[in-house]
A and B are shown apart, each in its own frame.
Chain A
Amino acid sequence: MAGRLDVVVAVHDGARHLPTFVASARRNLAPGIRFVVVDDASTDATGELLADAARELPLEIVTNTTNRGVAASRNRALDASDARWVTFLDADDWCAPGRLPALADALRRTGAAMVRTGHVRVDGLRRTPETAPWDGPRDVAVPAREQIGDAGGRSLVDYPYLWAAAFDRTQVGEPLLRFHEDLRTAADRPWFWRLHLADVTCAVVDAPDYFYRRFAGSGSLTQAGADRLLDFLVAYDRVLDLALADGDPAVERRALYGACRIVDFHVAKRHRLSRPLQRRLLAGAAALLARGDDDAFAVAVRGAPPGGQRLLRALRGAGRSVVAA
């Protein structure tokens, strides 16, 4: 287990992007690095391509006979993994050469339970670098709780990119690494919140870039259908469960702020949903925003975009009136 890094990859019908993934993996090899790939009941040539790749790469293939979704697939990969360090990749993305060895080195160097990095968003050929939102010292392990922050601005706890992070399982512990399998999207939101609220350390480090393909089309299990999209509400409900149970007012404000931001974002993009789904979105948002303390919500909503604040307050009012009735 010591000194090894397992790279968890969940893929469903990803044949189109697998050649890039394999080429990227080839340029990230180092002693102790292994890829644990879960083929989530693909119906295209994913199985054959992975079998070919396994002949030349340290790659363990786990196959789901039925489609179980990204969270369950990642849990299966974690079950199959026995390395001390673990990180994640999406099969439609790629890494600059040397990124994975750099992540292992960063975990070793800093002694942190998790390390986090920036990434590059890819839209066609155009790339946009995104830094990990942390103004504190870099390359230094600090309590992950300090990186939650208060309402407003960006924070590491709401930077939910598994592939821009690596974890030391001897410090994080298996229960914290498990994903909620009922969440078809946004399972990484409560997952990161749980980690940052736990008694672990985190270091923000520099590493060769991770390239995140924004509109991949297929292959990534995080690309979800429209009705699955509403699971973000359930995910944020769980974030609020964690934050309210924690009892720290700043943590509660941060969680409510995140809820306001994400509801505002999805309401602004509601046109991509059918009308029934838009209705479910707004009813669910009212139930979500009804939670938490009035003062905390008042602070949180002020951080939301000005054009959406009135609606967010009205949705909370609607939700609370039903709860109170």
Chain B
Amino acid sequence: MSTLVLATDAAQVDRACDLVRSGALRDDDGVLLLVATLDPVPEVVPTPLEDDARAARAADTFARVLDLGTLVAPQHPAAFDARDLAAHGPALRAALAGVHRVVRGAPGPVPVLPLVLPDARTAVLGEHDVVAEPGRLGAVPTPVVVEAGLRAVARRAPGALRRRVERALRPWWERRVVARAARDLARLRADDPRAPMLARAVAATPGWRRRR
């Protein structure tokens, strides 16, 4: 069994390296480092491991070093949800096989991992040690799941009635707008039979202002 450290910035990577090297953080099958960049556009910002010295130190310290952005690409780690498991679940589970404990670099929501390792135990990196937390990782919310759920509920209600009414009135509406389109085109044709009808129809439909 192995422990996974989730680091979202360079300071967390450094602290995790220090704790592993000091022996405060260890496991039977080693400790993995998972780096996650949660910037809104992670593709254009440097990851903590783009610093060569830090990357070399991490490679020497951890059993494996993984990048969450690469594992869930092109999805954003903070927006990853259950819909993405079909596409990314097998690769994620294979990469994280054997992980029984997730140590977070900082308290707060955790991207992706609660969906993939719901039974893992959790802990948080302290200054000089690892602070165990009660409960399992599955109970920790992912960053946008709650918010997305609320948005979905808010979206569902207002348009439903309008759509039902529109469906019922659609045949009447179609007859009306088609007749009017024919009238508008006929008027354009009468005004200037040689002018391109479509361009004139798009530019202005005659009579609209007059009748209003």
A residues sitting closer than 8 Å to B (CB atoms) are: 20, 23-24, 26-27, 94-97, 120, 124-127, 129, 209, 211, 230-231, 233-234, 237, 276, 279-280, 282-288, 310-311, 314-315, 317-319, 321-323, 325
By a CB distance below 8 angstroms, the chain B residues around A27 are 43-44
> Could you tell me which residues of chain B, from 56 to 72, have a CB within 8 Å of some CB in chain A?
none
By a CB distance below 8 angstroms, the chain B residues around A20 are 41, 44
Q: Flag if A314 contacts B178 (CB, 8 Å).
A: yes
The 17 listed contacts between A and B (C-beta, < 8 Å) are A27-B44, A96-B43, A125-B40, A125-B78, A126-B76, A211-B43, A237-B199, A279-B180, A279-B181, A283-B184, A283-B188, A284-B198, A286-B181, A286-B182, A310-B174, A318-B179, A325-B189
Q: Flag if B189 contacts A279 (CB, 8 Å).
A: no
Which of B44, B175, B201, B204 touches A23 (beta carbons < 8 Å)?
B44
> Could you tell me which residues of chain B, from 82 to 139, have a CB within 8 Å of some CB in chain A?
none
By a CB distance below 8 angstroms, the chain A residues around B184 are 279, 283
Given the interface contacts A120-B74, A322-B182, does A288 sit within 8 Å of B41 by beta carbon? no
Q: How distant is the Cα of A279 from the Cα of B45 in the complex, in angstroms?
A: 47
- B73 lies within 8 A of chain A by Cβ: yes
Main secondary structure of the interface of A (DSSP, over half): helix
Q: Flag if B197 contacts A279 (CB, 8 Å).
A: no
Which of B41, B43, B75, B185 touches A283 (beta carbons < 8 Å)?
B185
Inter-chain contact count A-B, CB under 8 Å?
Answer: 116
Which of B43, B182, B198 touches A237 (beta carbons < 8 Å)?
B198
Q: Flag if B43 contacts A24 (CB, 8 Å).
A: yes
Residue of A nearest to B189 (CB): A322
- B186 lies within 8 A of chain A by Cβ: yes
Total residues of chain B contacting the partner, CB 8 A: 35
Q: Flag if B177 contacts A127 (CB, 8 Å).
A: no
B residues sitting closer than 8 Å to A (CB atoms) are: 40-41, 43-45, 73-76, 78-79, 144, 171, 174-175, 177-182, 184-186, 188-189, 197-199, 201-205, 208
Q: Flag if A231 contacts B44 (CB, 8 Å).
A: no
Given the interface contacts A124-B79, A311-B178, A322-B197, does A284 sit within 8 Å of B44 by beta carbon? no
Q: Flag if A94 contacts B189 (CB, 8 Å).
A: no
Residue of A nearest to B173 (CB): A311
Q: How distant is the Cα of A124 from the Cα of B40 in the complex, in angstroms?
A: 9
By a CB distance below 8 angstroms, the chain A residues around B197 are 287, 322-323
Residue of A nearest to B208 (CB): A276
Residue of A nearest to B175 (CB): A314
Main secondary structure of the interface of B (DSSP, over half): helix
Residue of A nearest to B75 (CB): A127
Q: Flag if A282 contacts B202 (CB, 8 Å).
A: no
Which of A97, A125, A287, A314 touches B201 (beta carbons < 8 Å)?
A287
By a CB distance below 8 angstroms, the chain B residues around A282 are 177-178, 180-181
Distance (Å) between the CB of A258 and the closest chain B CB?
15
Distance (Å) between the CB of B67 and the closest chain A CB?
12
Q: Flag if B180 contacts A125 (CB, 8 Å).
A: no
By a CB distance below 8 angstroms, the chain A residues around B175 are 314
Q: Flag if A94 contacts B41 (CB, 8 Å).
A: yes
Q: How distant is the Cα of A286 from the Cα of B197 in the complex, in angstroms?
A: 10
Residue of B nearest to A288 (CB): B198
Q: Flag if B76 contacts A315 (CB, 8 Å).
A: no
- Max chain B Cβ within 10 angstroms of own Cβ: one of A26, A234, A282, A288: A282
Q: How distant is the Cα of A317 from the Cα of B174 in the complex, in angstroms?
A: 13
